[in-house]
Chains A and B, each alone.
Chain A
Amino acid sequence: MTSQQPRAFFALDLGSATTSAALIGHVGGRWRLVGHSCAPASTGADALLESLLRQIHRADPEILEDLGAGRGRGRGSEAILESWPRFVASSAPPRRIAVLAASRRQRNRLESVAQRSGWKVVSASVDDANPMDLARTIFATETCAVLLGADRSPSGDDRKNLPDLAALVAAATRQRPELLVILAGGAAAYEAVFAEQNLAAAAQASAASGSATATATATAPAPTPIPTLAPVAPSTPARDRTDGTAGPEADIASRPPDKDASQSKAAVGQPQAQLGAVAGVERDAEDAPLQAESGSAPVDASAAPISTPSVVAVPELPATHVLLAPDVEAGSPPGSSLQQVLEGLRSEPNDSRLNIARSIASLAYVLDRSMEVVEVGLQGGLVARSEPFGHGHFSILSSHASLVEGSFAPEDPSDEVIDALAAWSTASIDRHRLTDRLNDLRVAPWGNAEGDGATFRLAAAKAALTRLVAAAPEISERPMPELLVAAGGIFASLPASVVTLGIADIVRRSGISQVACDTARVLGPLGTIEDEGERRRLLANLADDILLPMGSLVVPAGVKPGKSAGHLKLKGTSYVSEIELHPGAIQVVDLPSGRTATADLDFRDTVRLGTRGHHFSMDLSGGLVGLLIDLRDVPMRISERPESRRAALEAWQKGMWPEVDE
């Protein structure tokens, strides 16, 4: 490392509810997490970083100087903030896509793919929607994009209704040129309809103003599927598996799954950049009305957000972007090609969720373990899995789903959302109050984090996690991962024990897993490092710091009711403890962070714990919670009656969270 290269950098996760900042520095020959802090999203990043630097200076006055704070342009926090690089990930409010199809069957399939790619979805099909509702859906300014899809070779209803539907969407683009249109599968045959509309609009504009501003349909191929930031990446000595030379570096996830997908990605590239530009205009225009007029007093530009106009004036109407995408069957698993296209169109370059998925893939390679991450945020959630495979484990198999419904406080909560919240709530609250509390949590997501507010947030997070897990069946069908990471501000604010219990309640698969939490929320910012090798080297250094170990989770399936399920013998370096296992119970054994022990499990009956058997022996590592043995049913059986369900949940929760009644 030369003297010019930074010895420290900031990792900022600009979430919708809270902003998290971390300082990562080169200490003792490796990169370490020096400190982290978070604040409501309305707090400016600089103010948060200054506060963080003050705290670090108070704890260790010399560390900042060791990291090079005294060199360069000057001393003090201002100089540090100016000179040290930043890796920034952010989560933007989801945009809405209208999924249109000629038949209900096709609509359902398209809707499922669009939801997994992080769009806020409204859908309609010709055979079950009023034509007026279809038109309203397209003309609504909240709708940013339209996905019109059909089978590769449309037939039946599709064939009959598609021309009218395509004509309606194409005509709507005359009034809403900012609309992005994606023609998937057989709907691509109607591309010419859009070209005609654009040409007609151009001719009209030309006649009106003397110069045509609109252009023809944009379908020209261009590369760059998902642009990434290229900040100053620190270099560091690598671990054994991070030399960056052995084996193919590219993840399976980063390769196009098939020819269709590569074509569609290519087609997406150019308009995506234009879409980003449009988004920039929207932001500027949203800010504009909130700024004071020229000459007035300075107003606080980053004050608590208010709802701003969802659309803005378009002085020069741009041409509509029409993109061709693969049909809903393309890719492996089916739909993955279309998902990739939609995801690329939705996300900003530094999208927090996609970058978390990317960091998890790098960590899976570095740690040589199968990993899953569940992230729950205000604007959505993420579930992702990465695991090494193949000879030498040099390749990584990844899949993920990013869902707006994965939000802990979804906008306009549906009855299903309230039902799920009521199902996980330990308090007896009527539906109206529950809805109001959830809506208020969305308005002020950082507030009321103690006492009954904490139990409510836990229920909201669990309900969101349930939706996420249900939306990614291909991940739920896989075996329990070796490392399970909980991410998102809502988990960071809750006690480790209940977070582990919450994960055990919902990610319910038999097996053994180590549970960790991304408390400092740096997985997103580190995912913005473009170079895979650099990212792996950095994560290899930081893995122990950024993943706070909660403990080991053991979930056997097939435990039969009775007095005793068997015995556990835990052998540490200087102790042996033996515990009786009780069916239906959650048992916790102390195993501090950094310690490992060998566990011998003897079950009375045959159970499934990865494999079927009576006797299992395994090495486990500790954490804040220790070792959690969950002997409840897999899948969990719990009463449907509200009172009994609440009593059961409360009993389990109280065992893990005794302070809850304070």
Chain B
Amino acid sequence: MIINSSDQVSRFTWLKRFPIPHNFDVMPDSRIRPGRTWPAPAGATKTKAFDIYRYDPDSGDNPRLDRFHVDLNDCGPMVLDALIWIKNKVDSTLTFRRSCREGVCGSCSMNMDGTNWLACTRFISDMATPATIYPLANMRIIKDLVPDQTHIFAQYAVIEPWLRSKTPEPEKERLQSVEERSRIDGYYECILCFCCTSGCPSHWWNGDRFLGPAVLLQAWRWLNDSRDEAKEERLDNLEDPFRLYRCHTILNCTRTCPKGLNPGKAIAEIKKMIIERES
């Protein structure tokens, strides 16, 4: 009932999903059709069922949900291992992003059992049976579990995520005290996996204009950097009914962050800073 950190898997279940029709607010092209069931390979001893979202852009068909049977005795412990096992042993067309396989790169973010997390740091043993795997929620899908992140990265560019200075460049680097540096702890560690932005209902309904938790956390990281000299422009750029104030402190972001960061808190800091500027 009480969640102490975001890596805690929810055991307490009232509802697996909101009680709405499966195709509520879904355009005809995005509706998920039943898919095929892939049998477990011969000789599999301990299998677990995985329901995985599939979309093949070349087929012209709608997305579908395929069921795979993974042989746990032949597969590593993480969900990413299961996906790689499926790709190697069952269906080589299964497509997903992955790179570091240790929660550092943020490539394999996806929706597992209804919440967003990194496939490489989620244990198969923590998954329901059957385990359900969708791509990050509310994204345009290129293929299978690969979402098109063009828009969210463009939103990232909107906040100009680099040091903006006005004083002439010093001879050496721009200095920061240990205390000043420590103020961006908890904000600079973001790996841009977009688990939070994809889990934010406000970004679902108004993602075209609302910047979303990941980008706003980065905005605070630069606002909070003692070396940055563009607070005025940054705050002007953020103060907008949609860009910033579409955040209603739902806090799905803080619940889902695979790095244990706190986008909700960062956004509250920005709102507070804007009020401090005015009064």
Partners in one complex: no
Which B residues contact A (CB, under 8 angstroms)? none
